[in-house]
């Protein structure tokens, strides 16, 4: 009876085409792929491999980084020059109004200047965010699902998490990368995103305060000058004032729009790059948006949110 059962079994022998077999970069296991599979996912570790890799060598990366650092340093010195020059230009006027107003002006100016320069420096010179280091490449070391949805960065030659993006300007992978900002010469990521938002807040408030003080001082200074040199003021002086007003307003509008855009992305629980990714993929992941995302971003305890009015909206689909 046992012999008849064994004889009824069918054994199939087939050959495996080497073009359809590959090695998983995450765990080192040999995988059998379907025909013409450019992207595949390992069933053990969860790593994703793309066979269509178009790696472009980044040349003169150190030169670009040096150029960014020099530009940021010059911009920082210029900011300090504007702050010190502005304080020196109006110090006699603010104290002529009242001694209390002069002291208030100096204290507020010192706070805004220190906040703006410090947050700008932290955004520019601090690492934007380094992805966690994981063990990979060997089956005994990599457990099941340890590299779920990880890809391999051929520039950094190491695993790249789903939350990371490689910046070719910085030459490294950045965790929760939002964008590469040329004005700070650095990426905006998980480690310096808060400092970047704080810099935008401080820059907007500083621009508003400087504009107010300058306008207030100008209105009290120009009337006496107008009667002494009316023609000169109505000519180049007025054109200079109008040009300065336009530049200040453009800077204020630009900073305000950028700040509002950043807060909207934080409110929706995503970054600028994830926003672009969600538009390209049509959105495959459901993420709740609301004020709780802003509280989490700034490190506030989530328990505070339950005492505030409910402002939650319906979930919105996007890809993280």
Q: Would you call 237 exposed, middle or buried from its count of C-beta atoms within 10 A (0-12, 13-18, 19+)?
A: middle
φ, ψ dihedrals at 177, nearest 5°: -70, 130
Give Cα 71 to chain centroid, integer Å: 19
User: DSSP H helical segments within the chain, as ranges?
Assistant: 2-7, 61-97, 99-125, 193-228, 230-232, 238-267, 272-281, 291-297
**Coil, strand, or helix at residue 301?**
coil
3-class DSSP state of 311: coil
- From 41, 76, 287, 317, select the one nearest 199 (Cα to Cα): 76
Catalytic (active site) residue 291 = no
Quote the CA–CA distance of 67 and 140 in Å, as a whole number: 45
- Phi, psi torsion values for 175, nearest 5 degrees: -80, 130
What is the distance between the alpha carbons of residues 273 and 227, in angstroms, rounded to a whole number?
A: 57
Inter-CA distances, 236 with 229, 232, 247, 249, Å: 12, 6, 16, 20
Q: What is the largest CA-CA distance in the chain?
A: 123
Q: 17: Cβ–Cβ under 8 A, 6 or more apart, which residues?
A: none
The 10 Å CB-count burial string (b at 16+, else e) for 183-215 is ebbbbbbbbbbebbbbbbbbbbbbbeebbebbe
Give the whole-angstrom CA distance, residue 65 versus residue 232: 47
The one catalytic residue in 156, 181, 187, 291 is: 181
Rounded to whole angstroms, the Cα distance separating 198 from 116 reads: 8
Residues noted as catalytic: 181
């Amino acid at each position: 009876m046992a012999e008849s059962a064994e004889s009824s079994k069918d054994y199939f022998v087939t050959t495996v085409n080497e073009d359809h077999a590959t090695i998983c970069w995450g765990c080192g296991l040999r995988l059998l792929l379907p025909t013409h599979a450019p992207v595949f996912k390992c069933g053990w570790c969860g790593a994703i491999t793309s066979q269509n890799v178009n790696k472009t060598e980044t040349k003169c990366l150190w030169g670009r980084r040096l150029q960014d650092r020099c530009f940021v340093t010059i911009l920082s010195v210029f900011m300090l020059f504007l702050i010190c020059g502005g304080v020196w230009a109006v110090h006699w006027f603010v104290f002529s109004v009242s001694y209390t107003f002069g002291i208030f002006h100096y204290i507020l100016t010192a706070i805004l200047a220190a906040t703006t320069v410090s947050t700008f420096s932290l955004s520019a010179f601090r690492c934007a965010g380094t992805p966690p280091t994981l063990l990979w490449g060997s089956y005994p070391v990599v457990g099941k699902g340890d590299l779920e949805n990880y890809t391999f960065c051929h520039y950094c030659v190491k695993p790249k998490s789903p939350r990371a993006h490689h910046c070719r300007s910085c030459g490294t992978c950045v965790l929760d990368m939002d964008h590469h900002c040329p004005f700070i010469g650095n990426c905006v990521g998980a480690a310096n995103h808060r400092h970047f938002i704080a810099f935008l807040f401080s820059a907007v408030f500083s621009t508003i305060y400087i504009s107010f003080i300058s306008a207030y001082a100008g209105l009290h200074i120009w009337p006496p000058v107008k009667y002494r040199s009316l023609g000169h003021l109505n000519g180049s002086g007025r054109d200079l004032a109008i040009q300065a007003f336009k530049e200040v307003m453009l800077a204020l509008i630009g900073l305000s729009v950028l700040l509002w855009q950043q807060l909207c992305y934080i409110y929706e629980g995503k970054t600028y790059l994830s926003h672009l990714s969600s538009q390209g993929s049509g959105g495959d992941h459901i993420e709740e948006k609301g004020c709780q995302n802003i509280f989490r971003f700034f490190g506030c305890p989530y328990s505070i949110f339950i005492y505030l009015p409910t402002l939650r909206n319906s979930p919105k689909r996007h890809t993280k």
